[in-house]
Amino acid sequence: MESLRNFLTGPRLFIVVAACALPFVFLGTSSLTDTTGNSLGSINGENVIQADFQVATNLAIQKYKDIYGESFELSELSDEIQLEIIKQELIIQKTLLANARSMGFVNDHTRTLAKKNIIANNAFWVDGTFNEDVFEAQANANGFTKEEYIEQISLLLATDQFRSAIGASSFALDKESRDLASILEQTINLNFIKVDSSELSQSITNTEEELLDYYKNNELKFFSDESRSFSYFILNNKDYEDLVKVPDNYIQSSYENYLANNKDNSEIRISHLMINKSNHDSEASALSHINNIKDKLSVGESFETLVEQYSDDVVTKDSGGDLEYFDADIFPEQFSIALNNLELNDISDVVELDDSYHLIKVTEYNKFIPVPLEEMQKVFVQELVETESIALMNDDFNSLDSLIISGAPINEISNSIKTQLKISKNNTFENFDSEINNTEIREYIFSPDAEIGIVTSFEIDDSIIILSLSEIIQPVLQPYEEVQDEVSRSLTSIKTVTKQNLLLDEIAQTKISGTVDSFISAYSFIKSDSFINVARGSSLLPQEVLSEAFKLLPGESTSAKSISGDDYIIDLISINKPSEKQIDDVIAQYEQFAENRFTQQMNDLISSDLFDSSNVNLNNIVF
């Protein structure tokens, strides 16, 4: 056994908590792979299997959600783009794993942490405690033995430990923080000319002849969207709740089970003081040393103070030796024996492990106090209703399955369980106006596979939706009279952009000839102004324009377009550097920013180097 420091402590890695819940089987990405073998190739000597593909998919999705928000759907991208994103994530993960393995991060410690994360994940709990049968069933259902799944999580942990270690020692010098503040706190003096897109477009007129001509030459722009209608009905477990009957003695029986399942659930939090045998000439010397410490405790010295002075566990010594809550599946058996009969604030006798000696202190002792039956009654009934209502809903759906398979029309299927059939009419892909506005359903309705009259079903949250496409209305050219406003807006937009480009060229010429002021005065939608001491976060100009201005040197010019479509021509007059006092006033804001910036640069540099030097040998059938 390694030292307890390696066995029990280290960074609290929560990045794999999601992985512990087997997410990679629920992502719907299996359609992207068609390989018949389990191996998809190798990267830097690390075998790539189907599970790695799914884990990489999950990690990639989470990265993109962090960037674009929770509404991001990888499935909305083309298969080619999806595969490239997943391939890059695979290369990163396997390259990091290969380096982690070569540096010894794949060890008993990561395996123990993997078990701890799995046990802590409530996806494998029953009645509030870890259930090994549930864990094994989920692992087996997804092609793993328990040991294979633990190994998968161990490798994820080792990879993340290595990734974390890359930037762990980064720091920023005071000079770097001040230099950064000096740059970012600069202000600028500038002149600018603005061509207002909105005012310009309002000055444009279109003749009826121009509009008709534009309509005839761009008919494809004015076709209606394809629309589709469908019939559907919904099975929702809420509709079945009133049908659930609570059996006699159910509440009493549930309460007895609750008491039985939680009788051993008292929580004990512990701290330890560890002496490594390897730090002493002999085991006898190490034992003598920890006994001397125990003698100090017996005369009233503080356990926490002695931990800080003497413990060899460098990770926990600054927190009084805290090891969090005791778990018999994680801690060695010797700890369990030593804790027998200890009360709050008691300290154990010396505990010997293969590589170390320990003193253990009980810092919290939370006895299980059962909630009274009267309070648990509502919980038991609610759990029963939720479970049984879903079961009743599934019973109804199972009774419909044979009708769906036989090709029965949807009205016959809904009538068989006396459910109201609803109709959603004239939906377009962009304007899917239905109470079941779900991405998966929308994509099916507008897919080539959707045929009129064919009934299909979808499981969405706690509901089952049965639907059938009923009508497809093909795009048609809309009459000019109905789209005249749209034609006018489209033509005006084109004219506006064209005129803006011409005006920018003319302004540039008049600046050279010295007649720019008279040129600007001829147009109400062109304005000029000067600003001084403009900061980077100023609202005087749009940020996208201001960012371009700060790239200039004094005397330089540039043009920039705002998000709203306005054009700006900017002349930078001068740059104003902040004083030392101004920097002193804001330096605290930049110290953490400078450190984070340094860390990110190091991570990017190392990740790029690892990625560029990786040896990729993936299955071309898949990729």
Given a cut of 70, whether residue 602 has pLDDT beyond it is: no
Query: Which residue is listed with tokens 């989470």?
Result: 62
| The pLDDT value given to residue 263 | 65
What's the mean pLDDT in 223-241? 94
Share of residues in the chain with pLDDT > 70 (%): 87
* 3-class secondary structure per residue, 186-225: CEEEEEEEEECHHHHHHCCCCCHHHHHHHHHHCHHHHECC
> Alpha helices of 522-568 — where are they, by DSSP H?
543-549
User: Given this model, what pLDDT does residue 620 score?
Assistant: 62
The pairs formed by 15-18 with CB atoms below 8 angstroms and a separation of 24 or more are 15/156, 15/160, 16/114, 16/117, 16/153, 16/156, 16/157, 16/160, 17/117, 17/120, 17/121, 18/58, 18/62
Helix (H) or strand (E) holding 464: strand 463-473
C-beta pairs of 335-342 under 8 Å, 24+ apart in sequence: 335/270, 335/360, 339/268, 339/270
Strands 322-325 and 267-276: antiparallel
Query: Which of 36-45, 303-312, 376-385 has the lowest average pLDDT?
Result: 36-45
First to last CA, the chain: 42
**Over residues 578-597, mean pLDDT:** 77
- 3-state DSSP assignment of residue 314: coil
- pLDDT per position as a tens digit, 402-422: 999 999 999 999 999 999 899
Identify the DSSP state of 434: S
Residue 314, burial from CB neighbour count under 10 angstroms (0-12, 13-18, 19+)? exposed
Residues 6+ apart with CB under 8 A from 171: 595, 598
pLDDT digits (tens, 9 = 90+) for 288-324: 999 999 999 999 999 999 999 999 987 788 889 998 8
Which pLDDT does position 585 carry in this prediction? 84
Phi and psi (nearest 5°) for 125?
-100, 150
CB 244 within 8 A of CB 388: yes
- State residue 531 phi and psi, 5-degree precision: -125, 145
pLDDT value of position 12 = 30
Alpha carbons 441 and 429: distance in angstroms, whole number: 11
Residue 500, pLDDT above cutoff 90: yes
Angle at 620 between CA 618 and CA 621, to 5 degrees: 120
What pLDDT, on the 0 to 100 scale, is given for residue 183? Answer: 85
- pLDDT above 90 covers a percentage of the chain that reads 50
Q: What pLDDT score does 596 carry?
A: 59
Confidence class for position 123, pLDDT limits 50, 70, 90: confident
Residue 201 has pLDDT above 50, yes or no: yes
- Secondary structure tally for the chain: helices H, strands E: 21, 17
Are the CB atoms for 102 and 162 separated by under 8 Å?
Answer: no
544-573 pLDDT tens trace:
999 999 999 999 999 999 999 999 999 999
Residue 17 has pLDDT above 80, yes or no: no
The pLDDT value given to residue 341: 81
Burial class (CB within 10 angstroms; exposed 0-12, middle 13-18, buried 19+) of 273: buried
Q: What is the pTM of this model?
A: 0.48
3-state helix, strand, coil in the chain (%, to 5): 50, 20, 30
For the record, the structure tokens of 182 come out as: 């000096």
> What are the beta bridge partners of residue 359?
273
CA-CA distance, 46 to 616, in Å (whole number)? 10
pLDDT bucket at 95, cuts 50 / 70 / 90: confident
322, containing H or E segment: strand 322-325
pLDDT at 378: 92
- Does residue 31 have a pLDDT over 50? no
Point out which residues pair with 276 in neighbouring strands: 356
Q: Strand 267-276 to strand 129-130: parallel, antiparallel, or no bridges (unpaired)?
A: unpaired
**What distance separates the 2 farthest-apart alpha carbons in the chain?**
104
Residue type at 271 in one-letter notation: S
The answer to whether the beta carbons of residues 313 and 274 sit under 8 Å apart is yes
CA distance 56 to 70: 18
At 300 the three-state DSSP class reads coil
State the chain's mean pLDDT as an integer.
84
Most confident region among 194-198, 578-582, 614-618 by mean pLDDT: 194-198
Cβ–Cβ < 8 Å for 95, 611? yes
- Rounded to an integer, the average pLDDT of 349-360 is 93
Residue 546, burial from CB neighbour count under 10 angstroms (0-12, 13-18, 19+)? buried
| Tokens linked to 9 | 């402590």
Which distant-in-sequence residues (6+ apart) come within 8 Å of 131 by Cβ?
Answer: 124, 125
Question: How high is the pLDDT of residue 491?
Answer: 97
